[in-house]
Structures are given as structure tokens and as C-alpha cells.
Structure 1
Amino acid sequence: MKIADIYGLPFISVQLVYRGKKLTLKKVLLDTGSASTLLNADVVMDIGMIPEENDVVNTIRGVGGIEYVYTKSLDSIDVDGTVVEDFEIEIGSMDYGLEIDGILGFNFMKQTGAVINLNSMEILLR
């Protein structure tokens, strides 16, 4: 899959399935420095991903500071035909000053054996 250079950062698109509803996210940052995958709450609410009573709430820390997130499990996440089922993600406000649908973190990359080739601007998955 080709990687787009947006804001000087690597972005790809992903497809999610949550409780049978599909959503394609076109601006997902590839971030090897993020332990988990994080989705923008404003974008995923369209398919019913909203905070619920039993959701686990966590605090995450990064370069941008501290953010409160809640955890959900996707039916699946698909990147260029590589599908991971029952995939755990976090959801937060992602108010970073740029338009972003999510962050694809190291948890997904490790599980799929991702190889990021910056010479050809591609991500290869098994």
C-alpha cells in the first residue's frame, strides 16, 4: 500500500468494522512510536462507537501531552487486504491541530509484520 506524505508525516487509509458497520478512514498516521492504535472520536461516532458504561478509560501520554481515551474492540481492521479480527483500539478527541482520522500504532504493525519502505513510500504487510 502506498503511503501519502501529508503535513510531512506518513498517512494511509484503513477500513474498520464495528458491530457489523463499516467505515473507511482515509487519514491514518503510521506511528511506530505509538504503542496502541488510536481513533478520532468525532469520526468513529458515525458507526456507533461512542462511550458506553462498561468501557475502560485510560490516560495516554505523548509528545502532545496527556489525553483520556476509552477502549473498544473492533470486529476487524483491514489495511490493504490484511485483516486483523477482534482488534483492540483506543478512542480519543485527537485535538492535535491537524485533520487526522486516527493513528495506526505499533500493536498493529507488530501483529502484521509490517515493513515500512520509505524509499518507495509503501507499507508491506503479511
Structure 2
Amino acid sequence: MKALVLEERLLLTEMRISSGSRFLDLKRVAVDTSAEKTIVSAANAKALGMLAEEDVTDQGGVTKTCSSISVGPLKIKDFPVDIRELSEAGKLDGVLGLDFLKRVGAKINLDSMTLSGSRVI
């Protein structure tokens, strides 16, 4: 199980993403059941070496496959993420979308403010 917090009307958690032998802990990740894809901020993707400056355009980002993505005990290897500028969304490091939530069989418990999964990936 992974803890969730409600802050500024957003359901937030933490996420670890890796690319090759490098990893980064993202502290402010919105859990968004209306987002089709999982998103990582361009700044964090650059810090991991996942993209070059010219990869991100004003019209949107790019999709790259990270080595792994994990939220607490929920982990998926070779997972595609969208990389976008998230400056308009506040100080978010990323967005945990339906693609990840469905794949792990996520269960969001708002009473205990936790995220768990029913599948081992």
C-alpha cells in the first residue's frame, strides 16, 4: 500500500522512476483517474537523461519508455510515459494515469487514503 494525501484539491502520492541505472523519486505526483496516460515532467525526464531539449515542443511532449516505474510496492518494468511541461499544473512532478492504475489493478481507498494493487507485474 502507498499513502495518498489530499492537497490543494489534488490526490497526491510519490513515485520512483528509473531510466537505465539512474532513478529519481518524484514527490508530488497527482493520481488522476481521468488522465489516460502517465506523465512525467520534462524537467524530471531531463534529469534522468530520458530526453534532450529539442524533444519537447510547445504542442505537447513525447512518449519514452522508462526502465521502471513504481508507486510503493506497485512496480512495472519497461513502461511508456508521456513527457510534458507541467508548469501550468502547479508544482507537480508527474501524473499517475489510468494506464498504470489499470495495469496494476489499482484500488484507491479514500477512507484510509491508500493506493494498493491486485496484480503482481
Q: One fold, TM greater than 0.5?
A: yes
Mapped pair 1:3 → 2:4:
yes
Deviates more, 1:13-22 or 1:108-117: 13-22
- Divergent runs of 4+, >3 A: none
In the other structure, the counterpart of 1:81 is: 73
In the other structure, the counterpart of 1:98 is: 90
**Equivalents in 2 of 1:6, 1:40: separation in Å?**
19
In the other structure, the counterpart of 2:100 is: 108
Q: Across the two proteins, how many residue pairs are aligned to each other?
A: 117
Deviation at 1:44, TM superposition (A): 2.4
**Equivalents in 2 of 1:75, 1:97: separation in Å?**
25
Q: Helix, strand or coil: the match of 1:42?
A: helix
Q: Helix, strand or coil: the match of 2:47?
A: helix
Alpha-carbon spacing, 1:19–1:116, altered in 2? closer, same or farther (3 Å): same
Contact 1:16 1:74 in 2 (8 A): yes
TM-score calculated relative to the size of structure 1 = 0.84
In the other structure, the counterpart of 1:63 is: none
CA RMSD of aligned residues (A): 2.1
Unaligned runs of at least 5 residues, structure 2:
none
Unaligned runs of at least 5 residues, structure 1:
59-65
AA at the equivalent of 2:4? I
Q: Helix, strand or coil: the match of 1:68?
A: coil
AA at the equivalent of 2:13? I
**Equivalents in 1 of 2:45, 2:60: separation in Å?**
16
User: What does 1:113-124 correspond to in 2, within 5 Å?
Assistant: 113-124=105-116
State the identity %. 31
TM-score calculated relative to the size of structure 2 = 0.87
